[in-house]
Structure 1
Amino acid sequence: MQNDSDRFFVLTGGPGSGKTTLIEALRKADFATLPEAGRGIIRDQMAIGGPALPWNDPALFAELMLSWELRSYQAALEQKGPVFFDRGVPDTLGYLRLTGLPAPDHVRNAAERFRYAGRVFIAPPWPEIFGQDSERKQTLDEAERTYHALAGVYTELGYELVPLPRAPVEKRLRFVLAETGLQSG
């Protein structure tokens, strides 16, 4: 792995498609991982009565998403070896596209500047495991539209999409490790 971006692997896709479960499995296999912005921001904003919730102020939510993802990228630079991200900077562009909001130049610039490995893992919609909770209020239809928005953004940015199989987490873990040429510790 020559550049930092070569060791930075993104897992993206719509909500409720098993990304975070796979990230947790990678963490348990001793790989460095970084959490998703959305749930963390929602949890924090709900705790403090903040306005940056996707159902209250989607533009402000997107700004916090971008800030979170940039901070995650900086944290990954301090790690040795491969790092797996539960979403990446381009996800903010996907969110803006999904919500019909314009993408400010600084968000586009960030997505072009802060690069990841050329192959991005994308979790397809998976109705059998999809669920809602106090932080995930999207419908299955919205999850599917999110998937398509993200697929479009990452493709436009020159990434190759690698669809994750709809399979138990252990099989998904083996798939990711095989596709990246990595072995678990």
Structure 2
Amino acid sequence: MNEGLVVISGCSGGGKSSLLAELKARGHRVVEEPGRRIIAEETANRGNALPWRDLAAFLRRAIAMAIADHAAAAGSAGWTFFDRGLVDAASALQELTGEQVLHPLCTAHRYHRQMFMVPPWAEIYVTDTDRRHGFEPAVAEYQRLATTYPALSYDVVLLPKTSSVARADFVLSALAERDH
């Protein structure tokens, strides 16, 4: 297990990116969401591995990117915060295709036991050119992740619906408490 690698996951549009921007501003390493990076690359290259064109190809790319991100961050001193991780992509691919990828991949590539889950937050949810799905699919995604992470023996900490600054304080405090 990599004790310094911490996943922030949960509902799309729930404030993960804002929280991670705050953690980065405080000097912590942050790994951007694989999905957003893949969409940017595929759009620039006129590729098809996009969630609205070929979801399975998109998820396979997200899995490969999450494994590479994990390997690149392993052994780093201090905290590294991930905007989503391998569990997110592997669980989505398994649900979509039935391929049994979740347990083998996620057992081989562990993050810090404590992870932070962003709940659905309709008041701040917005779509954009990369996030085209509505709030209901985002809630369904959240529900899948809220059961998947504990099933993989992660301690899920639900983040409060508050500012990014307060959320960052909450995350860092929870991690400090666990380490003492």
TM range, smaller chain:
over 0.9
SS in 2 for 1:181: helix
Distance apart, 1:103 and its partner CA: 3.0
State the Cα distance separating 1:97 from its structure 2 match.
5.1
The counterpart of 1:175, out of the listed 161, 170, 175, is: 170
Contact preservation (8 Å) 1:97, 1:149: no
Paired position in structure 2 for 1:101: 97
Give 1:132's aligned amino acid. T
Aligned residues: 177
Q: Are the equivalent residues in 1 in contact too, given 2:120–2:142 (CA < 8 A)? A: yes
Matched, 1:9 2:6: yes
Question: TM-score, structure 1 length as denominator?
Answer: 0.90
Identity of aligned residues (%): 31
Instruction: Assess if the C-alpha contact under 8 Å between 2:66 and 2:86 holds in 1.
Output: yes
Match of 1:119 among 114, 117, 140: 114
Q: Deviations over 1:109-152 (max 9, x none)?
A: 11111001111100000101100010001110011001011111
Q: Which 4+ runs in 1 deviate beyond 4 A? A: none
Mapped contact 1:32–1:79 kept (Cα < 8 A) = no
Q: Secondary structure at the match of 1:128?
A: coil
User: Is structure 2 residue 76 aligned with structure 1 residue 79?
Assistant: yes
Structure 2 residue 89 is matched with structure 1 residue 92 = yes
CA shift, 1:108, in A, is 3.3
CA distance in 2, matches of 1:35, 1:142: 22
Give the distance between the partners of 1:169 and 1:143, measured in 2 at CA.
20
Q: Does 2:31 correspond to 1:34? A: yes
Give me the whole-angstrom Cα distance separating, in 2, the residues matched to 1:26 and 1:34. 11
Give the superposition deviation at 1:78: 5.1
Alpha-carbon deviations, 1:91-111, whole Å to 9, x = none?
A: 11332255x322344x53111
2:4 and 2:169 map into 1 onto residues whose CA distance is 17
On the 8 A contact 2:15/2:118 being kept in 1, the answer is yes
Q: Distance in 2 between matches of 1:97 and 1:66?
A: 11
Which residue identity lines up with residue 164 of structure 1 in the other structure? L
CA distance in 2, matches of 1:61, 1:37: 10
**Which letter maps to 1:36?**
E
Q: Secondary structure at the match of 2:156?
A: strand
The match for 1:58 is 55
- Paired with 2:172 and 2:45, the residues of 1 have a C-alpha distance of 39
State the Cα distance separating 1:71 from its structure 2 match.
1.0
Q: Distance in 1 between matches of 2:18 and 2:70?
A: 20
- Equivalent position SS for 1:138: coil
**Could you state the TM-score of these two structures normalised by the residue count of structure 2?**
0.93
